[in-house]
Structure 1
Amino acid sequence: MNKLMQYGWNMYWENKWNKEERSQHKPGRIIADHGQKYRIFTEEGEVWGEMSGKMQHTLQSKGIYPAVGDWVQLHMLEGEGRAIIHSIIDRKTSISRQKAGVKSAQEQLIAANVDVLFLVTSLNDDYNPRRMERYLIMAWNSGVNPVILLSKADLCDDAEMKAAEMELIAPGVPVHVVSALENMGKDAVTGYLKEGVTVALTGSSGCGKSTIVNWLAESIEQKTQGIREEDSRGRHTTTHRELFLLPQGGLMVDTPGMRELQLYDDDGGGWEQVFADIETIGERCRFTDCEHENEAGCAVLAAVLDGELDEKRLQNYRKTQRELQFQIKKEARTQRKVNRKDHSAKEPVRRKSAFWNSRISEE
């Protein structure tokens, strides 16, 4: 298992591994997702893998598929450099969002078994604290430790001021100002890249994620593209998710840039963590069920008037709250449809008995 330890295998996964399957299957970690096929690292090196027919049938109804970072049970096809995936070992963490362009509640898994999530935003015209609040909700709900990276510091004259602004909206979350071009902040970032630790990067298109991967890997692991100067927006550079082993010993997952981040759920209480300051102020409201809209004695509205609270932050508080409430309702509707479909499939076909048929013919 020495080679697998480089890719994060440890006693936690050893205890999770199904001992009864050891004689038939071997563990591996998905390092790249190419749709129906996956690149997987095993004790024997890299192999191509695909799901067994049974696994595809089982997971299709649940809408859950293997993701980059997953540990899986494999049946190795000797001499072919291929393997069949039979199951996913229970995930430790999972980073997900609501799948874009889908009306029903549908989770899109970004990466699995991540320890640290770098939330990247560039210090150009695309800099947006409100967007970062959404990324923080996703991070806390995923069970990972978020770290904010303010990239392209060479393009900004007030980087430290913006870092202070980020620290205000994310108390306790590390914030680092970095520039790959000027080699700024590298020591702080590499401190997270310990052997066996999996780090993922996420952020909007063109924020510099692939450049950061190349900078830390000290090689051209990922292709990069420039941004559109007229709006500081980037083009999609990374087209699929991939996990890289870095020279520092850590592992890094690069993900395609997001045009928008639709929140999937709030099982981890991420929304309350991100807006803990508003929740604390809200404890001073006259009414315990105050919604901070136009109620008399609302301490939150008073805090906005006094300059204690940014009005835009309050607006995002309301917006993300409504979005998550809507998402919960949508997920419940989707689940009811699935339950009805399962019930219909299990409903026995009712046939008239031979006795009843004979009575009908006699009549």
Structure 2
Amino acid sequence: MSAELQALGLDAPTADHLAALPGELVPGRVVRVDKGLSTVLTEDGPVRATWSGAVLAAIAADPQATPCTGDWVALRSWPDDRITVEAVAPRRTAILRAEVGGSSRGQVLAANVDVVAVVVGLHPEPNIGRIERFLALAWESGARPVVVLTKADLVGDADSVAEDVATAAPGADVLVCSATTGEGLEAVRSLLDGNATMALLGTSGAGKSSLVNALAGVELLDVQAIREDGKGRHTSVRRELILLPRGGVVIDTPGLRGLGLQEAGEGLAAAFPDVAALAAQCRFKDCAHVTEPGCAVQEALEEGALSVRRYESWVKLQREAAYMTRRADNRRQLEARKAWIQAKDYRRDSEPRP
């Protein structure tokens, strides 16, 4: 394994998988994707690659197999100077959200991430419910979730706000920083130790691009001022992998105004461990946590041990995740039935006729 690929975050199991593939293939990591083309960084530099027939077939069977930013792939060079992505290595982790169009399939935002940084601007005041939603997605990815509060130079109570956020983010570190003054940046940089990959998630105007520039020490990404109504403008328009000069990899993502969960059962339990622990104590296993007798969640609400705001946020996300699970189950059943009918028709047509 070359030093260049190690710097990009290549681990031994993925390297072994790519090396075992037949043919003269070159490993690389997807930097960005543009309409069927992937920009891939190899040990010899970046290349542009189209998708092979095998990859296109995999995508047709499962859209989540589409190469995305952070994927490790195997490349083939052709005599006519074409380069194709021949295979995508299994993903260690993947940030998956529900597709914007309402499909029951999920969209992979980034792959092979070690840290998911939920980036939230301290100005205007953070939306705690939105942070919980992002954290559920981050936990579900299999990576380490962290909340990074930016724009500390614009407020006078950053530490107080961080305490409130930490209460809503059990199990996740909460860091405060300023890309303008440099406050807290070393703590954020430490998340990239060991050539780690960190994906940035957040709404437009959260300060993701400014944070990337501060970590890189140079102006790599455009930065736009926040609008007068407090909403951010979309600066990043695509997911892009950036190798930082001091080591580590950052994946910047466009601002997400809508973030639907995709079957985030484990992620929700990890984002709400306090509520999950209470739910496990209910008298009935199928407790809906509304009016049932012996409901530990309702008892905690009455005693003030659980805030109404956090309970309502949990209920909303639980319902959303359950809905998406039902839709995905229905889709899988329909696909299985379609495949069974096709196989039955094939067997019938292939049988010898008397």
Which TM-score applies when normalising by structure 1? 0.90
SS of match in other structure, 2:256: coil
Residues 126 and 233, structure 1, Cα contact 8 Å, conserved in 2? no
**Structure 1 Cα separation of the partners of residues 303 and 157 of structure 2:** 26
Q: Tell me the equivalent position of 1:97.
A: 97
Aligned residue in 1 for 2:300: 303
Q: Deviations over 1:302-342 (max 9, x none)?
A: 32233221101101111111111111110011112222333
In structure 1, the partner of 2:338 is 341
Corresponding residue for residue 41 of structure 1: 41
1:155 and 2:154 aligned: yes
Summarize the Cα distance change of 1:292–1:223 in structure 2 as closer, same or farther, 3 Å threshold: same
Counterpart of 1:221? 220
Aligned runs of 1:172-251 on 2, under 5 Å? Answer: 172-230=171-229, 232-251=230-249
Q: What does residue 274 of structure 1 align with?
A: 271
Q: Secondary structure at the match of 2:191?
A: coil
1:54-80 Cα shifts (integer Å, max 9, x gaps): 321232221120011101111023684
1:262 aligned partner, one-letter code: G
User: Considering only CA atoms, is the larger Rg found in Structure 1 or Structure 2?
Assistant: 1
Q: In structure 1, how many angstroms separate the alpha carbons of the residues matched to 2:275 and 2:68?
A: 35
Match of 1:361 in 2: none
| TM-score w.r.t. length of structure 2 | 0.93
Partner of 2:126: 127
Tell me, yes or no, if the aligned pair for 1:31 and 1:41 is still in contact at 8 Å: yes
Partner amino acid for 1:294?
T
1 CA distance for matches of 2:191 and 2:138? 16
Matched residue type, 1:17: L
Q: Secondary structure at the match of 1:118?
A: strand
Report the residue type matching 1:146 in the other structure: P
Q: C-alpha displacement at 1:288, in angstroms?
A: 4.6
After superposition, the Cα gap between the structure-2 partners of 1:187 and 1:20, relative to the gap in structure 1 and judged at 3 Å, is: closer
Give distance in 1, aligned partners of 2:353 and 2:60.
41
Cα distance change of structure 1 residues 25 and 312 upon mapping to structure 2, 3 Å threshold:
same
Task: Tell whether the 8 Å contact from 1:194 to 1:248 is kept in structure 2 after alignment.
Answer: no
Q: Deviations over 1:144-201 (max 9, x none)?
A: 0011001112222221111111211222311011111121111111111224211110
Q: Is 1:57 the counterpart of 2:57 in the alignment?
A: yes
Q: Cα distance 1:86–1:353, how it changes in 2: closer, same or farther (>3 A)?
A: closer
Q: Secondary structure at the match of 1:200?
A: strand
**2:314 equivalent to 1:313:** no
Change (3 A) 1:53 1:291: same
RMSD: 2.1
Aligned mates of 1:351, 1:300 — CA distance in 2: 58
- Call closer, same or farther: CA 1:182–1:341 in 2, change over 3 Å: same
CA gap of 1:79–1:349, structure 2 versus 1, over 3 A, is closer
Q: For 1:254-302, what per-residue CA distance to the aligned partner results, in whole angstroms no more than 9, with x for missing partners?
A: 00111111001236x1111221112223455454543221223433223
Shift of 1:251: 0.5
Question: Contact between 2:14 and 2:90, CA under 8 Å: does it hold in 1?
Answer: no
Tell me which residue corresponds to 2:17. Answer: 16
The 2-side partners of 1:221 and 1:353 are apart by 63
Specify the code of the residue in structure 1 equivalent to 2:68: A
Tell me the distance in 2 between the aligned counterparts of 1:10 and 1:54. 24
Alpha-carbon deviation of 1:35? 2.2
Aligned residues: 351
SS in 2 for 1:338: helix
Hey, what's the Cα distance between the residues in 2 that align with 1:333 and 1:222?
42
Q: Does 1:332 align with 2:329?
A: yes
Structure 2: how far apart are the matches of 1:79 and 1:17?
24
